[in-house]
A and B are shown apart, each in its own frame.
Chain A
Amino acid sequence: MAVELTRRAAAGALVGGLLSSRSFAQQVPKQEVLIDFFGLAAHNWQPVIDKFQQDYPTVKIKFTKFSTDELKQALRVGASSGKMPDLWWNWGGSLASPYNQAGLSVEITPAMISSLKLDEFLIPAGIELHKDQGKLYGIPHRIGPFSFFYKKELFEKFGLKPPQSLAELETIADTFKKNNIVPFSNGGKFSWMTMRYFDFFLESFAGPAGHDALLDGKASWKSEPVTKAFQKLKDWADKGYFNAGFLNVDPSVSVTMLYNNSAAMVFESITTETNRMAREGQDPSNFGTFPLPTGQTPRRVPGSPSQIQISAKTSKDKQDAGLLFAVYVAKPEIAPFTNANVGFPSATKNVFPTGNAPSSRQWAEWIQADIGLYRLTDQGLPQNVVAAFFEAQDSMLLDMISPAEAGADVQKAIEKNARR
C-alpha cells in the first residue's frame, strides 16, 4: 500500500514536472476533470479543444456554441441564476463588466500575470485592451479590429484606390452609387452594424482623446462632434450609400453582397476573412482592406477584446483546468493554431497568419505596429445606455429626431445611469 502510494506520487511528480516546464508551473489535474465552455459558433474552437485534450488527457472540455445575441443571453441567464459555465468566451467592456463586478469571473491578478508569463508573450496593448477598471478578468487570445473590406474587382473596374481621407472615401462611394452598386453593405437589424459607421465618424470628428472622453462619460454627448457624427451618418443613409431597407437586414448576410458584386465595401471584423469568406468558398485574395481614414493621429480602428473568462463560482479543480486551457490557447507555440481556427490578429506576440489570408496578415502587422484601437460604443457605454444609443441612432435615421436630439437622448441616458 505504502509502496504503491509512493510510486504513484513519484510518477505524478515526474509527469507534473515534465508538464510544468511547458505550462508555466500550472496544476495539471491528476483525475479527470470535465468543464463546460460557452463560445460563439463563428469561432471554430473544436480543433483547439481536441489538440488540448490530446496534450492533457485528464481534462475534458464540453464546448457549446451560440450565435452573438444568444451567447449574450445565455451568460445573462446564467448570471441571474447564479450559475455560469466553468469557462466562457467573451468580448470586453460593458459586455464583460457586469460579470467581473459581480465577482463571477476570476481576476487574473498581476501576480498571476507574471507567474503565467502573460506579460512576456502577449502584446502589451492587447492586455490593456482587455482590462476592466484596471484589472484583468480573462486570458486574451485575440485582438479583434474592425475595418473596411472591399471587393478588388470593383475598385479596379472604376480605377479606385483605398482612400486616405473621409472625403476620398465619399468620392469612392459616389462613384459606386452612380453605377448602381451599393457602396456599403450594412446589416442594421440589431443596430450595431450601423453603429460602426457612427463610431468611425465620431473618431474622425472628436479625435482619439475626445472619443475616449465621450465613452468614459467625461465629455457631454450634447456636443458638436457628436451632432456632426450623427449628421454624417444621416447624410450617408440619405445619399443611398447603404443598401435599401438596411435597417431590417440581418448583419450576417451583409458580407455576401460583396460576393456577387452587388455591394463594394463592408465594415466588418477582420475575422470575417478566415471565418466567413474562406469557409464560404470565396478566395480571400479577391478582397482588400484598408484602415479607417479618420484623418487623426494616432490612426485608430475599433477593436473588440476576445478573451476566455473563468468562473469564480466553480470548483477549484475546474478553475485550474479552465485556466490551463485559457493560457494554453494563447501560448506562443499554440497561438498560431488557435488563431488559425478562431481568427486573427493574435493577442500573442509575433504570431502571424500563414496560408491564404492576406487581410488578416496585413492587420496583424498593422496592430503590432502603429494602428491604435478604440472601443466600440456598444462595449464602451453601459448596456442600458447602449440601448438608448441604438434607439436614438435609428430614430434619427428614420427622421423622427434630429442629430442634435439624438446626442441629447444619449446624454440623458448616461446621466440617468450615473444616478443609479
Chain B
Amino acid sequence: MRSSPQISEEIKPWLFAAPAALIFLVVLVYPMVYSIYLSLFQWNGVSSTKVFVGFGNYIELFTDNRVFWIAFKNNVIWVLLSVTVPTGIGLALALVLNTGFAGTALFRSVFYFPAILSMSIVGLIWSWIYHPTLGLLNQTLHALGWTWLELHWLSNPRIALYSVFVSAAWHNAGLPMLLFLAGLQTIPKECIEAARIDGATRAQIMRFVTIPLLRETTLIVIAITAINSLKVYDIIYVMTYGGPANQTQVLGTWMYFLTYNQNEVGLGTAIAVILFVMTMLFAVPYARYMARDQ
C-alpha cells in the first residue's frame, strides 16, 4: 500500500468521493448552470425557439411584476418568523426535555412527531382546522362565545400568511428541538457541575452557562432554518395556492406558477436564480464556518 507511487495517494481520496461527486455534478451542478442560462431567455417551455433577452427577465421582475415584490416581502416575513418562532419553541422544548425527568422520551416523541409528517399532509390537516364554518378552530371559538375571533383564516389576505405559518411552525419546531438537544449533550457536564458547586441556581446556570455554550448550535440552527425557510413552497402551495389574489405568494411558489401555469420559463428561472442568490447570503458564512479547520 505505502509502496504505491505518490500520485496514487493523491487520487485515492477521490476514488472514495467519486460516486458523490459524480451524482452531484449531474443532479445539482449541471441543472443549476443550465437554469442560469435559461433565465436569460424568453421561452414558453413548449416552443422550440427561445428568444435571448439578456437580463430582460430580471428587469421585468423588478420593475413590472407586482407579485414579485409581494412574494419577496412575504419571503422576508417568513424567514424572520421562521428563525424566531419554531426555533424558539424548539429551544424551549429542548431545555425542558434536557432536564431528564421521567417520561422525557415520551414527550420528546410527542413534540417531534409533526416533523415526520409530509408537508402535504400537514397542509391538509390544518386546512380542515381552519375551515371557515366547519373547521375545528372556528367551531371551538364559537362554542366559547368568542365569535369576534371567528375569522376567515386562509381567505383574509391580512392573516392568511400567518395562519399558514402557524401550521408550518407546528411541523418545523421538531428539528430545532432535536438539534438543540444534541447541542446540549455536547456541553461538558463538568461546566454545569462547577457552576452548581459555586452555588449557582438553576436559572443562573441556564443564563450564564447553558445558553452561552449553545451559541454555536444556535447559529447553526438559525442558518439551517433560514436556508430552508427561504425555499418554502409546498405548505403554501397546498394551503392557499398563493391566494387569495396572490397575496400569500412567496418566491418559491411564484416561480412555480410563472413556470408551470403561465408558461414563463424565463421569468420563473430568473426567480430561482434570485432566490439562490438570497440563500447564498445566509449560506456562504455558514458554509465557511462549517468548513473551518479544527
Contacts and interface: CB of A to CB of B under 8 A. Distances in A.
A and B touch in the complex (CB under 8 A): yes
Interface string A58-92: 00000000000000110011011000000000000
A98 B152 contact: no
B46 A248 contact: no
B155 A246 contact: yes
A77 B131 CA distance: 32
Given A80-B265, A248-B160, A104 B46 contact: yes
Contact of B154 (A101, A102, A245, A394): A245
Contacts of B6: none
A245 B155 contact: yes
Interface string A408-420: 0000000000001
B204 interface: no
B139 interface: no
B241 A190 contact: yes
Nearest to B48: A102
Contact of B244 (A72, A188, A420): A188
B16 to A, nearest CB: 34
A244 B152 contact: yes
Contacts of A398: 157, 244-245, 247
A391 B245 contact: yes
A79 B46 contact: yes
Nearest to B239: A248
Contact of A248 (B42, B152, B261, B264): B152
A80 B155 contact: no
B235 to A, nearest CB: 14
A243 B133 CA distance: 9
A73 B237 CA distance: 14
B88 interface: no
B245 to A, nearest CB: 4
Q: Considering residues B244, B247, B264, B265, which has the most beta carbons from chain A within 10 angstroms of its beta carbon?
A: B244
A325 to B, nearest CB: 24
B257 interface: yes
Contacts of B156: 245
Given A102-B46, A102-B47, A244-B132, A76 B263 contact: yes
A73 B243 CA distance: 18
A371 interface: no
A18 B243 CA distance: 57
Nearest to B60: A416
B205 interface: no
Interface in B53-77: 67
B154 A248 contact: yes
A198 interface: no
B262 interface: yes
Interface residues of A, number: 34
A177 interface: no
B44 interface: yes
A384 interface: yes
Contacts of A249: 132, 155
Contacts of A349: none
Given A104-B46, A384-B263, A189 B243 contact: yes
Interface string A88-111: 000000000011011010000000
B217 interface: no
Contacts of A391: 67, 245-246
Main secondary structure of the interface of B (DSSP, over half): loop
A400 interface: yes
Interface string A377-417: 00000011001001101110110100000000000000000
B260 interface: yes
A10 B44 CA distance: 50
B78 to A, nearest CB: 18
A80 B43 CA distance: 10
Contacts of B45: 76, 79-80
Nearest to A94: B263
A247 interface: yes
B225 interface: no
A355 B233 CA distance: 46
B240 interface: yes
A360 interface: no
Contacts of B244: 188, 247-248, 394, 397-398
Interface in B250-279: 257, 260-265
B260 A77 contact: yes
A387 B261 contact: yes
Contacts of B47: 98, 101-102
A373 B226 CA distance: 51
Interface in B175-223: none
A99 B244 CA distance: 29
Contacts of A190: 241, 243
A67 B119 CA distance: 19
Nearest to A387: B262
Interface string A292-327: 000000000000000000000000000000000000
B282 to A, nearest CB: 30
B238 to A, nearest CB: 10
B265 A387 contact: no
A341 B42 CA distance: 42
Nearest to A409: B66
Contacts of B246: 391, 394
Contacts of A80: 45-46, 265
Contacts of A394: 243-246
Contacts of B243: 189-191, 247-248, 394
6 contacts: A80-B46, A98-B44, A99-B46, A247-B155, A383-B261, A393-B245
Given A190-B243, A247-B152, A384-B264, 8 more contacts: A76-B45, A243-B132, A245-B155, A248-B152, A248-B244, A394-B244, A398-B247, A400-B245
8 cross-chain pairs, A with B, having the tightest CB-CB distances, nearest first: A245-B132, A394-B245, A245-B152, A248-B155, A80-B45, A247-B155, A248-B154, A247-B244
